[in-house]
Amino acid sequence: MSESFSPHPVAVVTGGARGIGEAAVRKFAALGHAVAALDVDRERGEALAAELRAQGASVQFHYCDVADAVAVDALASRLQQEMGAASALVTSAALIPNTDSIMTMDLDTHDRMWRVNYHGTVHACRSFGRHMVEAACGGSIITLGSINSVHTMPLPAYNPGKAAIARLTQLLAAELGRHAIRVNSVGPTYVMTPELQARIDSGERDLPRMMQVHALDTLPTPADIADAIAFLCSTAARTITGVLLPVDSGFIASATYMTYSGGVPWHRS
């Protein structure tokens, strides 16, 4: 077993400067982890780390483009030496697109999205996962899936990428289970981030229309997703691996039900 240089369990969060990644950083910090937040948004990442350090937490920001396998690997080795192996890895870094068509989408944008969203997840899981294996302390990896992992949506590259991440999660669970490393995915529906709220406020998104295909009448917040991540990393989930946990207000259960051509046999109040 390798020595851990941090007195606290270590959590690494890619895309940790904003949104769900930021919420995961805040959650792990509140749970007493030493947290490394990786992101390309240096300004937000540094500000978040400084805010949480001022509250007594152990949070560092590191600039890291997850599409760059060499950079991810170098940072993973550095953090292993400085903090010890991570007991939790969350891969939240991603590019989030607008509606587009495969026939018309710009190919460079398409390829970049695969490099960040899918390849970036592979890079982080390989580089940090190898140190977790070497440390022989077990651990938990959480990938970011989506309702896109399950349903078709007009989001080229992003939508098939989320399906690929669900399968990658199962492959990693099968590979790493013998090292007591569990690998799961969380699958949010539309998350009520400040960016989504702004789009609703400006009329770019129609909230009542979005809610028509959900079972519940409220969307998850980033903190709700972080709670699910923390659950999957906890001992309460010690025999759960290889799953996609929807945090979706019932979208997957009800999207086809709500759009049935014969109509829904009841009215929403």
Ligand X SMILES: NC(=O)c1ccc[n+]([C@@H]2O[C@H](COP(=O)([O-])OP(=O)(O)OC[C@H]3O[C@@H](n4cnc5c(N)ncnc54)[C@H](O)[C@@H]3O)[C@@H](O)[C@H]2O)c1
Residue number closest to ligand X, CB atom: 19
Total chain residues near ligand X (CB under 6 A): 27
Answer whether 213's CB lies under 8 Å from 171's CB: no
Task: Tokens 């989001």: give the residue.
Answer: 155
Tell me if 146 contacts ligand X by CB under 6 A.
Answer: yes
What Cα–Cα distance (Å) separates residue 25 from each residue in 20, 195, 233, 252?
9, 19, 13, 27
Tell me if 144 contacts ligand X by CB under 6 A.
Answer: yes
Task: Give the residues across from 246 on adjacent strands.
Answer: 187
For the bound state, the minimum distance from the C-beta of residue 2 to ligand X, rounded and expressed in Å, comes to 26
Distance CA 151, CA 252 (A): 8
**Is 158 among the residues known to form the active site?**
yes
Half-sphere exposure of 232 (CA within 13 A, CB side): 29
Member of 9, 28, 34, 39 binding ligand X (CB under 6 A): 39
Tell me if 149 contacts ligand X by CB under 6 A.
Answer: no
Distance CA 153, CA 69 (A): 29
Looking only at residues 102 through 131 of this chain, which bind ligand X when binding is defined by CB under 6 A? 116, 120
For the bound state, the minimum distance from the C-beta of residue 188 to ligand X, rounded and expressed in Å, comes to 4
Distance CA 35, CA 11 (A): 5
Stretch that binds ligand X, among 3-11, 54-62, 185-193, 233-241 (CB under 6 A): 185-193
Tell me if 191 contacts ligand X by CB under 6 A.
Answer: yes
For the bound state, the minimum distance from the C-beta of residue 149 to ligand X, rounded and expressed in Å, comes to 9
Joined tokens for residue 102:
């495969």
Member of 48, 85, 90, 93 binding ligand X (CB under 6 A): 93
- Which of 69, 63, 24, 67 has its CA nearest to residue 44? 63
Joined tokens for residue 229:
């991540």
Tell me if 243 contacts ligand X by CB under 6 A.
Answer: no
Task: Tokens 């030496």: give the residue.
Answer: 81
Stretch that binds ligand X, among 36-44, 207-215, 237-245, 253-261 (CB under 6 A): 36-44
Looking only at residues 2 through 21 of this chain, which bind ligand X when binding is defined by CB under 6 A? 14-15, 17-21
- Would you name the residues annotated as active-site residues? 158
Give the footprint of ligand X on this chain (CB under 6 A). Answer: 14-15, 17-21, 39-41, 64-67, 92-96, 116, 120, 144, 146, 188, 190-191, 193
